[in-house]
Each structure stands twice: as C-alpha cells, then as structure tokens.
C-alpha cells in the first residue's frame, strides 16, 4: 500500500531538545518523542514517507544570518546535531528503507535550498504532516513554504514545541487561521 502523505520530523536534534543542547526546548521538546515515533510508525506502515530535515551549520559562519541571532548549534559531525533519543533509535532502525531519509537544511524552511519539493512531487505526495521543533521557527517556515507550494498541511499539536511558549501558541494559531492547516 502506498500513500500520498509524508511526515516531516523537523530538527529533532540534541541541540534543540536535550537538556544540554545549545538552543534547547528542554522538556517541552523531550516529551514529544513517543508521539513522533508513533506517527513515524503509522506513516511508515501505511507506505508513506518519513523525512527528517535536519538543520546543519558551520560555527561562526560570517555569511549565515543565524550566526548573528543564535549561538553555534547543529554543527556538522557534533553530538548536538545527532537526532534526539527515541527518534534517533527509530531512524537508525529504519534508515535503510527507501521511504525514510534524513537530509541537510541550512535555513529555517525544509524547502529552502533543498530538493524537497522535487522529491515529494516525484512521489506524488500532496499531504504533509509536520512535527518537531521549533514550532515558531523551522516548523513555521516549512509550513509557510509548503502552503505556498500547494501542499495540504497537518500539524500535530502534541508533536511540536518551542523554547518560546508565546511563539508556539502564535504559530499554532497562524497554521490554522492563515495557512488553513489541520491542527490535530
């Protein structure tokens, strides 16, 4: 059985989720792991795609705008860039499957500077389930680009988090009221 749906597990790394992460959501991010793994199992079982767009940086890159906004994070090859906890275990167990892949992204949106849209269209994907961190940064910018590209969006409220509670709440409202996303 195949499906036209993909789950995007956005930036679920040690630096964004673990207690000692450079830019962590902490507990709000950590409690998402069982839900994310359950959603990954469900989409995968139905023949859908499970994609892990993952932020990657070079420390103190003078050309990257985030260097002025945030401390170094998700540095290639570092512990901070590794997937967090149960999601890492799930990925390691499924990485050899053609319907599962992790890819680099260097901007907030999973679409910016990547071949994500092309790969989704080749696979006839028209519905995206978004989970991960941060709700009001990378999940938001991915959702905005997906909306502009015509994808149907499903945001799993119990599978997104941010280090900014006000930004998290605003983004959930924006997904629903400005992007027409289903919030479940």
pLDDT in tens, 37-50: 999 999 999 999 99
pLDDT score for 1: 47
Beta bridge partners, 8, equal 51, 130
Which residue range forms the structural domain that includes residue 128?
A: 5-183
pLDDT score for 64: 80
Between residues 70 and 2, which one has the greater pLDDT?
Answer: 70
59 falls in which pLDDT band (50, 70, 90)? confident
Query: Domain count of the chain?
Result: 1
* CATH classification of the domain holding 95: 3.40.50.850
The b/e string for 118-146 (b: 16+ C-beta within 10 A; e otherwise) is eebeeeebebbbbbbbbbbbbbbbbbbbb
Q: What are the tens digits of pLDDT across the range 65-94?
A: 887 888 889 999 999 999 999 999 999 999
Identify the burial level of 92 via C-beta atoms within 10 angstroms of its C-beta, where 0-12 means exposed, 13-18 middle and 19 or more buried: exposed
Asked whether residue 99 carries a pLDDT value surpassing 60, the answer given is yes
């Amino acid at each position: 059985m195949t499906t036209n749906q993909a789950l995007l597990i956005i930036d679920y790394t040690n630096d964004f989720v673990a207690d000692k992460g450079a830019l962590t959501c902490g507990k709000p991010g950590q409690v998402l792991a069982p839900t994310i793994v359950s959603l990954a199992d469900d989409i995968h079982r139905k023949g859908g795609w499970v994609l892990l767009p993952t932020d990657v940086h070079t420390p103190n890159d003078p050309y990257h705008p985030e260097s002025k906004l945030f401390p170094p994070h998700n540095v290639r090859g570092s512990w901070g860039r590794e997937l967090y906890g149960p999601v890492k275990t799930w990925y390691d167990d499924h990485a050899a499957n053609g319907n599962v892949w992790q890819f680099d992204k260097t901007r907030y949106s999973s679409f910016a500077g990547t071949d994500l849209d092309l790969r989704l269209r080749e696979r006839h994907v028209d519905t995206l389930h978004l989970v991960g961190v941060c709700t009001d940064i990378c999940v938001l910018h991915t959702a905005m680009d997906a909306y502009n590209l015509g994808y149907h969006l499903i945001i799993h409220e119990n599978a997104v988090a941010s280090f900014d509670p006000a930004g998290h709440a605003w983004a959930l409202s924006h997904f629903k009221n400005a992007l027409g996303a289903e919030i479940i």
